[in-house]
Structure 1
Amino acid sequence: MTGVTEESAEARRLRYWGRIEPAHEPDAFAALDSAYRQPHRSYHSWAHIDELLAGLERFGALATRPDLIAAAIFWHDAVHLARDPDGKTRLDRQNVRDSVAAFRRHTTLEGSEAQAVEDLVMATSDHVGARATTEHYPGFAADLDLFVDLDLSPLAAPWEIFAANTQKIRSESVGVEEAEFAANQVKMLEGLARGDAPVFRRAETRAAWDATARVNLARCIAGLRAAGR
């Protein structure tokens, strides 16, 4: 997946934001723009959001509430830090929780719609295990599966892009030793590979991305193991 079409990524981003802007406070986009342009971000930047929006454009017909999926895409990495102020490695789940809190501060959505976006965002803290526990609207569980697939879609990028993304993620892990980074990445990627189980949940995304993602995962895991020795 290249994430690039004839329309520029920025134009797509602004078009999707225009659709969900009424569900946000006036300063919401400025807060997102400041977050995704933080100097330490190499992978978790606007480029990642743009790629997911390109995926939503491609598979949007599968979504019941593409507007809520779009909101989750914009907010799911609003907070991304490698370490806490005390120097401890920051858990991904805490970044996701803080991203949810940022969404809640800036959204005007209420009730089941706001909770649906929160649950979509929280699903990115456990891509394999996340499941819809509440059907906030008919079709929510399927929308959650689609959103998780979109967040994992970079796994199916051409190898050169996949490898570059790994290096970008490495550069964001400030203060993390090479062996620790490699071990953490291998654990995460092996969890996604899961033997013969499909990487992607929806049949349509699986048909488009699964085979390439499996090759990339195997190749990356082997390289990380070698680097961590």
Structure 2
Amino acid sequence: MTETIVEKYWSLIAARHDAQAFSTIDLAYNEPQRAYHAWGHIVDLLTKLDALAHLATRVDLVAAAIFWHDSVYLTRDGDGRPRTDPENVRASAVLFEFHSRFDEVEGQAIHDLIMATAQHMKAKAATEHYPGFSRDLDFFLDLDLSSLAAPWPLFESNLDDIHFEYGWVPERAFYLGRMQMLESFLASGEGLYRLPETRALWLAQARANLLRAEVALRDRLAGPASA
């Protein structure tokens, strides 16, 4: 974990949390069932936020959403039932609210940023909590998908990390699920990234990665069926 970037952005918002907030986040992102949805993902988003801070109206609130948006991440419950992304997102929002000492407007804005990741491609700002909130929501969602534009070796490593998190799922079922995800992202076209600035930075590489991954998954699915 890159301590400096984490400390920089936590210092912006620490006073608006209770005393247990950071230890709660730290325990969460170090859970052994995580690989992609761990500190590395949070550091990546904070690093990009740092580089693109001029695109945000409220950098502090976007940073808070980054810290909390995957604070609860389970691919199945204790009884073995598969866990959906919206369930994790709702639980993450509730965990944020428990530790939050933000004022009502700021807290609701962060809550809505977190909840937007439950729908992602379809999410829209229902309330303009402050001037520029809807753009901050779009920026935050673009940041969350920015890893799709990583250099191919890192993109492939991220897929492997997600596979680890779903290690209990039969391989063929996992590959089919990933294929649906890739196809959904590809079908969004230029809308994969919402802001023109982030689209210019990431769209071409993201689509190249998605197309390459789609071919690889089709090859795997065409082979002998996995257990």
Report deviation, 1:124: 1.0
Task: Indicate whether 1:141 and 2:141 are aligned.
Answer: no
Task: Indicate whether 1:121 and 2:114 are aligned.
Answer: yes
Confirm or deny: 8 A CA contact 1:178 1:228 kept in the other structure. no
Matched residue type, 2:137: L
Query: Please, which of 205, 211, 216 is the counterpart of residue 223 of structure 1?
Result: 216
Other-structure match for 1:51: 44
Task: Indicate whether 1:94 and 2:87 are aligned.
Answer: yes
Query: Please, which of 45, 62, 68 is the counterpart of residue 55 of structure 2?
Result: 62
In the TM superposition, structure 1's runs of 4+ consecutive aligned residues that sit over 6 Å from their partners are: none
Other-structure match for 1:184: 177
Report deviation, 1:89: 1.3
Matched residue type, 1:159: W
SS at match of 1:128: helix
Query: Please, which of 26, 31, 37 is the counterpart of residue 33 of structure 1?
Result: 26
Matched residue type, 2:58: R
- Within-5 A mapping of 1:75-94: 75-94=68-87
Output the TM-score relative to the length of structure 2.
0.94
Output the TM-score relative to the length of structure 1.
0.94
SS at match of 1:197: helix
Q: 2 CA distance for matches of 1:175 and 1:133? A: 37
Task: Indicate whether 1:158 and 2:174 are aligned.
Answer: no
Report deviation, 1:192: 1.4
Gaps of 5+ in 2: 223-227
Q: 2 CA distance for matches of 1:179 and 1:102? A: 34
**Cα deviation digits, residues 27-50 of structure 1 (max 9, x gap):** 100000000011111111100000
Report deviation, 1:195: 5.5
Task: Indicate whether 1:207 and 2:195 are aligned.
Answer: no
Matched residue type, 2:116: A
Confirm or deny: 8 A CA contact 1:82 1:174 kept in the other structure. no
Q: 2 CA distance for matches of 1:157 and 1:9? A: 18
Gaps of 5+ in 1: 1-7
Matched residue type, 1:196: G
Q: 2 CA distance for matches of 1:224 and 1:125? A: 25
Confirm or deny: 8 A CA contact 2:190 2:199 kept in the other structure. no
Matched residue type, 1:33: D
Instruction: Report percent identity of matched pairs.
Output: 47
Matched residue type, 2:148: L
